[in-house]
Amino acid sequence: MKTRAVMMGRIRRCAAALVLGAALFGLASSSVSSTAGCSSPDTSARVDPIGPDRAQFDVVAPMLVRRCGSIDCHGSPYRNMRMFGYGGTRLRDPSTATSTPETPPRSTPTEIEATYQAVIGLEPEVMRDVVKAGGAGPERLTLVRKGRNDEDHKGQQRIKHGDDADRCLLTWLASSVDVAACNAAGCVDGGVVEGLGCSE
């Protein structure tokens, strides 16, 4: 009887050791796999912010600054997608004596370049995909959705589906900008002052 009891005790201890071993093995395995899953991101990875044609942006910028770039909106230096130009925050330019929201009366090349970088850098990977697709699926861009107020936008609707501003933006994304639409939407009147005499 005593021998049998000793044997049963050994069997129980052995079984317990097996269960413990299996549990430890499982824990170790999951630890290894989770460590692999949490590996650091590739620090060399880059998204090239390929934007639509830079030269064509010269006619798009006044429209964006006019519609979106007032000092209390994207013309503020404290907003994302900062825009610079007439009516908004100005960038000091060596060619101008003073820079105020109303002078000089046109956006400078420096300001247009800064606005371009802000626009294409907002969602560089999406912008790249839209440009590569020839402008197809522009609504993938937050810029388009918020401008149209299709996505909640503090500045409400600044671009209506199919209006001049919409055509200007979408044709630029497709790299064949509609200059007339941009000029109408940007209120570029005779190249004198952006916004003067514009009813929009």
Which residues contact other proteins (rule: CB under 8 A)? Answer: 66-68, 70-77, 86-92, 98-102, 154-158, 193, 195-196
Complex with other proteins: residue 52 or 75, whichever CB lies closer = 75
- 3-class SS of residue 189: strand
Question: To the nearest whole angstrom, how small is the minimum distance from the Cβ of residue 1 to other proteins?
Answer: 60
Complex with other proteins: residue 93 or 129, whichever CB lies closer = 93
Question: To the nearest whole angstrom, how small is the minimum distance from the Cβ of residue 74 to other proteins?
Answer: 8
DSSP per residue, 68-127: H-STTTTTSTTSSS---STTS-----TT-S--BTTBSSS--HHHHHHHHHHHHTSSHHHH
Question: To the nearest whole angstrom, how small is the minimum distance from the Cβ of residue 91 to other proteins?
Answer: 7
Question: To the nearest whole angstrom, how small is the minimum distance from the Cβ of residue 102 to other proteins?
Answer: 7
Complex with other proteins: residue 51 or 62, whichever CB lies closer = 62
Complex with other proteins: residue 101 or 135, whichever CB lies closer = 101
Asked whether 194 and 71 are in contact (CB, 8 A), the reply is: no
Query: If we measure between CA atoms, which residue out of 171, 173, 169 comes closest to residue 66?
Result: 169
Asked whether 186 and 194 are in contact (CB, 8 A), the reply is: yes
